Structure 1
Amino acid sequence: MPRTDIGIDGLDSMIQGGVPERTLMVAIGNAGTGKTTFGLQFLDHALSRGESAVYVTLEESHERIVNSATEKGWPYDEYVEDDLLAIVDLDPIEMANSLSSIQSELPGLVRDFGATRLVLDSVSLLEMMYEAQSSRRNEIYDFTRSLKEAGVTTMLTSEASDENPYASRHGIIEYLTDAVFVLQYVRSTDDFRETRLAVEIQKIRDANHSREIKPYDITEEGISVYQQANLF
């Protein structure tokens, strides 16, 4: 089975041999844990090698995404100009009235664009459109299935639950994806003033991976996971 790297130093070392291509992944975390940076870096790994990609954002504008990436040294403006990258910024309010059309059109966009990777930031806003848990589950299931049928390696981002940092806000997406990365704040038991960021791989189907929780930083150049380090 063909495999691919995520494109994040240290994290790829925790995945033995890379994730299978066409994997549907999710990065779960609270605000400030670097979910958007995670997605931008994931796409840059492919774009820098001349591949095509699609970035779908429900939270930021096209301009904000390009600026955030270029600040990290990832030339998203050049990728867009060279027709390697399509950035789709959608209004969540409008999406509530047109989810079915987006669901049907997105796989076509991926195929027509020749994309190898896709990011959707964030799936939590899609989930919030449904009040009933049963409707939410069914619609998100259909949406993720359409992404899998598009045949692209996909990274979703999701807000973590307020009660449990290891679970998504609605507790659905982690069961519908092939791989789950948890980004969280960890506070030292000895010194409550010290807080670090840590990543854990909950699962990757058809791939071996480390079960350890490792610290990471969000730097001017993106996310770096310190595979050889311990939290405290």
Structure 2
Amino acid sequence: MGEPQAYVEETADAFDLHTEQIHFHNISPTQEQFSERNSYSVFESAEVEQPDFIAGLREKIDEIEPDRVLLDPITEFRHLTTDERQFRSGILGLLDYLKEIDAIGMLTSQAGGPITDDDIQFLVDTVISLDVTPESRMVSVSKFRGSSFRRGDHFYDISAAGLEVWPALVPDTQKQASDAEPLSSGVDELDELLYGGLDQGTITMLSGPTGVGKTTTGLQFLIQAALEGKQSVLFQFEEAEWTIRDRADAIGLPLQAALDSGELSIVEVSPDEYTVGEFEHLLREAVTDGTEVVMIDGSQGFQENLRGLADTTGALVRIGRFLRAASITTLLINEVQNITGDFQASEERTSNLADNIVFLRHVEYRGEVRKVIGTLKMRTSNFERSLRELEITADGIRVGEPLPQLRGILTGTPDWSEDTGGTDRDVADTDQA
């Protein structure tokens, strides 16, 4: 009833929709209808055209005996009726007729502004709403008689590949059981800090300011997992893949060996390349393909690079719950802005989604800037309460012995004291006992 038939056919053919199985019945206004001798008002149009419209439509349906009938757009039917009651009666009669012949009826509606289609939604069994913004397209289901459906907004797109829909991630209601050993970093002292490593199916946030070694520490876990035969994937939001490779080569991390093994892959997520829905689809595919370890680098790039992201925290929480339920060991790189000053575990207030928080921090000692690493929480196991010095050298990551003399880092003004009064490890072991 709206666009010219030739235009609709060209559009369908452009997406390879095989229009040879589609019968077109064009009842849109023709040039002759708009000629001066045939012109009439909207009211007169309703009186003149409605009988021919209904009769012609039913005759065509009886002739073809279709499985599906699409009226596009049904809102044009309003101009062929004399009042709202007649409009509703006509739609209801059409839907009843389609049910009688066991055909699926589909109606498109151009609603917006002062024009609504609430009355049509009341009559039909299913309502699927489409919305478009400058950044993305969204689809939602608000009604589906006789069946449940996934609520909320979901991303979709229309491209050269056709119509693609990416339902929002929904975690399983029950976490998959696992008796796997904790994920080791391959650095003994770092594993000691974590009392053996990271438990499978947990989310670990590596938090700290820029340049402190968060990504490098995460890579250490990821590479070790791949070399142990665990399928792993790095979703890189912050840097290009070649910079990751160069960094790994510079400090002796066997990244290339992990990539060559086929157990590790790097997915570079460029700005505005994906919507949130597309990224969630990549995660879902990775889990389906057997991935055991995922690293997201990092939370700030996640917020800036993905399109259609209205709630950063909500999206990360949804992704985290999905990965946790699938027993995927997850590393999330989180950057805090303050290099010195008051301690912050998370810039984006997403620390609640993490099972484990490992923080890295710059400290000053005798005129030198050093790095320290510590654990703030681990939900599923005990951990060492002391801080250790972290060094990134040409031979890889080096983690030192506990530093009981380093005090006050959580206050934002750390200092070194030679009067230890016992080690923090002794205190931790006493607490555990």
TM over 0.5: yes
Deviation at 1:43, TM superposition (A): 1.0
Whether 2:345 is the aligned partner of 1:167: answer yes
Q: Count matched residues.
A: 223
TM-score relative to the length of structure 1: 0.85
Describe the shift of the 1:175–1:7 C-alpha distance in structure 2 as closer, same or farther (beyond 3 A).
farther
Query: 2:252 matched to which residue of 1?
Result: 73
**Does structure 2 conserve the Cα–Cα contact (< 8 Å) formed by 1:179 and 1:204?**
yes
Deviation at 1:111, TM superposition (A): 3.3
Cα deviation, 1:111-161, whole Å, max 9, x if unaligned, reads 31x33212111112223579xxx8232222112222223422111101014
5+ residue gaps, structure 2, are 1-178, 407-415, 417-433
Whether 2:302 is the aligned partner of 1:123: answer no
CA RMSD after TM alignment: 2.4
Report the Cα distance in structure 1 between the residues aligned to 2:202 and 2:212, rounded to whole angstroms: 22
Query: 1:179 matched to which residue of 2?
Result: 356
**SS of aligned partner of 1:216:** strand
Deviation at 1:224, TM superposition (A): 1.7
Summarize the alignment of residues 91-102 of structure 1 with structure 2, pairs less than 5 Å apart: 91-95=270-274, 98-102=275-279
Deviation at 1:94, TM superposition (A): 2.5
Describe the shift of the 1:225–1:100 C-alpha distance in structure 2 as closer, same or farther (beyond 3 A).
same
Whether 2:330 is the aligned partner of 1:154: answer yes
Whichever residue aligns with residue 226 of structure 1, its letter is G
More strand by share: 1
Of 199, 206, 223, the residue aligned with 1:44 is 223
Report the Cα distance in structure 2 between the residues aligned to 1:64 and 1:187, rounded to whole angstroms: 28
Describe the shift of the 1:194–1:206 C-alpha distance in structure 2 as closer, same or farther (beyond 3 A).
same
Report the Cα distance in structure 1 between the residues aligned to 2:196 and 2:255, rounded to whole angstroms: 27
Report the Cα distance in structure 1 between the residues aligned to 2:342 and 2:282, rounded to whole angstroms: 34
Query: 2:194 matched to which residue of 1?
Result: 15
Query: 1:56 matched to which residue of 2?
Result: 235
Whichever residue aligns with residue 352 of structure 2, its letter is Y
TM-score relative to the length of structure 2: 0.48
Whether 2:312 is the aligned partner of 1:136: answer yes
Report the Cα distance in structure 1 between the residues aligned to 2:354 and 2:285, rounded to whole angstroms: 21
**Does structure 1 conserve the Cα–Cα contact (< 8 Å) formed by 2:336 and 2:346?**
yes
Report the Cα distance in structure 2 between the residues aligned to 1:21 and 1:39, rounded to whole angstroms: 15
Query: Percent of aligned positions with the same letter in both sequences?
Result: 28
**Does structure 2 conserve the Cα–Cα contact (< 8 Å) formed by 1:16 and 1:209?**
yes
Of 111, 132, 145, the residue aligned with 2:321 is 145
Structure ID, larger Rg? 2
Whichever residue aligns with residue 166 of structure 1, its letter is Q
**SS of aligned partner of 2:359:** strand
**SS of aligned partner of 1:25:** strand
Larger mean CA deviation between 52-61 and 156-165 belongs to 156-165
Deviation at 1:85, TM superposition (A): 1.3
5+ residue gaps, structure 1, are none
Query: 2:284 matched to which residue of 1?
Result: 107
Cα deviation, 1:41-77, whole Å, max 9, x if unaligned, reads 1112112223321011011222222232233333323
Query: 1:214 matched to which residue of 2?
Result: 388
**SS of aligned partner of 1:186:** strand
Whichever residue aligns with residue 187 of structure 1, its letter is E
Q: Which has the higher contact order (CA 8 A, sep 6+)?
A: 1
**SS of aligned partner of 1:137:** helix
Of 258, 261, 269, the residue aligned with 1:90 is 269
**Does structure 2 conserve the Cα–Cα contact (< 8 Å) formed by 1:182 and 1:202?**
yes
**Does structure 1 conserve the Cα–Cα contact (< 8 Å) formed by 2:313 and 2:349?**
no
Report the Cα distance in structure 1 between the residues aligned to 2:329 and 2:389, rounded to whole angstroms: 25
Describe the shift of the 1:129–1:66 C-alpha distance in structure 2 as closer, same or farther (beyond 3 A).
closer
Whichever residue aligns with residue 298 of structure 2, its letter is S
Report the Cα distance in structure 2 between the residues aligned to 1:71 and 1:110, rounded to whole angstroms: 31
Query: 1:226 matched to which residue of 2?
Result: 400
